[in-house]
Amino acid sequence: MSDKTILLVGTYDTKKDELSYLAEVIRTQGGGVMRMDVGVLGDPPDTVEISRRDVARAGGHSLEGAAQAADENAAMQIMAQGAASKALALYRAGEIDGVLALGGTMGTDLALDLCAALPLGVPKYVVSTVAFSPLLPPDRIVADIQMILWAGGLYGLNAVCKSSLSQAAGAVLGAARAVEKPRSDRPLIGMTSFGKTVLRYMVDLKPALEARGFDVAVFHATGMGGRAFESLAAESAFAAVMDFAPQEVGNHLFGGLSAGADRMTHAGKAGIPQIIAPGCYDLVDFVGWQPIAPSLRDRPVHAHNRLLSSALLTAEERREVARTICNKLALAQAPVALILPRYGCNEWDREGADLHDAEGLEAFCSEIEADCPQNVRLHRLDAHINDPAFTDLALSVFDSWLAEGVIPY
């Protein structure tokens, strides 16, 4: 008897040999396989556990309706909706422990929707001809998805593609056996940061919050991390958030590494208490190995490493960031505390550092004070965000909310 069951997803009319090979590898390793056919036009040569008719019905359509759609894109979106719905139902029923999807551009498009439907902690593997490609928008890459390039596998089995397929089969089964799914025995605090070289508060805050009985997840706010943070906030996964690195708001405004237009909104909508600080608000982050955008030229730039660089915002741009943050916080359905460190908000903007801009900092602080909404408690702090005074104030707010029952425990 197999110990873990993997949902194997693909078009069984055109990819039978490859999918059968994946199933064989999983079974040889002692795993179980449940097959889902997401093809539209051709009949698969073998019967599978979840037929393409089952998938279409799960998406609210008939298979004939999908086949008669305006084009293949519309047809596959119907199948993607059904596949996502069916996969989630199978997981909730305890019938699958992980998913492995196979495809070219169309199969990958469907697989991204399917993986997005499954909770964090469910192993999600995609074998794709466009893995890691610019074709894949960051907003569709869920937090714990894994991908491998289907090299040499567009049509038919061969020694090259078997290497990728076998790795994926072993990886998803191993992940299903090894995964430690998120626990619910301790309330979770969601925190954002930007790495210890520029923001250091988590070094002291994490153990202090753990000593109070909380678990702490720190998200690297470079686009993908912010998306993961927001998706978990939307699921009400956090007891409270310490969103201390919202520079992805400015990134979205000015063409940097965006976490989407809805960054800094889901915790408020979900009624999660928020302690906010504007860490790295003054930076726009961009891909370090690509040419700098014309709009970001002729301003100071800090090369963090070969992957990531940050350009400094102007005073007027900082005012726009401040207004945008205030507008987002005004929609919150739970208490919000905004800590404003008036001596700077990242290590590179201290006095004497390469990105120090006293005029720009004053412009931001003044705009925050002018536009701070009535539902937000503003804490002005004559210190830098990396000073002990900042962590002391953050913990003081947290402890008062804990005592008042604002933060559930």
> Could you read off the pLDDT tens digit of each residue along the chain, which spans 409 residues?
569 999 999 999 889 999 999 999 999 999 999 999 998 877 777 789 999 999 999 988 888 877 777 678 888 888 999 999 999 999 999 999 999 999 999 999 999 999 999 988 899 999 999 998 888 887 788 888 999 999 887 778 998 999 999 999 999 999 999 998 877 789 999 999 988 889 999 999 999 999 999 999 999 998 888 988 998 899 899 999 999 999 999 999 998 888 889 999 999 999 999 999 999 999 998 888 888 888 888 888 888 888 888 999 999 999 999 999 999 999 999 999 999 999 999 999 998 988 999 999 999 999 999 999 999 999 999 999 999 999 999 999 999 999 999 998 7
> Which tokens hold the place of 119?
């909770």
Helix (H) or strand (E) segment spanning residue 404: helix 388-404
Domains of the chain: 5-178 (3.40.50.12020), 188-404 (3.40.50.12030)
Pairwise CA distance, residues 193 & 249, whole Å: 13
According to the model, what pLDDT value does residue 2 have? Answer: 66
Residues whose CB falls within 8 Å of the CB of residue 313, separated by 6 or more in sequence, listed in order: 250, 254, 281, 282, 283, 284, 321, 360
Helix, strand, coil shares of the chain as percentages rounded to 5?
A: 40, 20, 40
How far does CA 389 lie from the centroid of its chain?
31
Burial pattern 195-229, b for ≥16 Cβ within 10 A else e, equals beebbbbbeebbebbeebebbbbbbebbbbbbbbb
Pairwise CA distance, residues 305 & 303, whole Å: 5
Strand order in the sheet with 240-243: 215-220, 188-193, 240-243, 274-276, 336-341, 376-381
Pairwise CA distance, residues 70 & 78, whole Å: 11
Sole residue written with tokens 């449940």: 34
How far does CA 108 lie from the centroid of its chain?
18
Q: In this structure, are residues 165 and 18 in contact, taking their beta carbons and an 8 Å threshold? A: yes
- Amino acid symbol at 116: A
Residues whose CB falls within 8 Å of the CB of residue 230, separated by 6 or more in sequence, listed in order: 259, 260, 262, 263, 264, 265, 266
According to the model, what pLDDT value does residue 90 have? Answer: 97
For 20, 106, 109, 341, 348, the CA distances from 116, given in Å and listed in that order, are 25, 16, 11, 37, 36
Q: In this structure, are residues 129 and 160 in contact, taking their beta carbons and an 8 Å threshold? A: no
Pairwise CA distance, residues 343 & 387, whole Å: 10
Pairwise CA distance, residues 330 & 13, whole Å: 52
Q: Which of 268, 253, 265 is nearest to 226 (CA)?
A: 265
Strand partners, 192: 219, 243
> Which tokens hold the place of 197?
């070289």
Pairwise CA distance, residues 171 & 34, whole Å: 17
Residues whose CB falls within 8 Å of the CB of residue 407, separated by 6 or more in sequence, listed in order: 187, 239, 240, 273, 398, 401
- Amino acid symbol at 29: Q
> Which tokens hold the place of 314?
């102007």
End-to-end CA distance of the chain: 41
Residues whose CB falls within 8 Å of the CB of residue 106, separated by 6 or more in sequence, listed in order: 72, 76
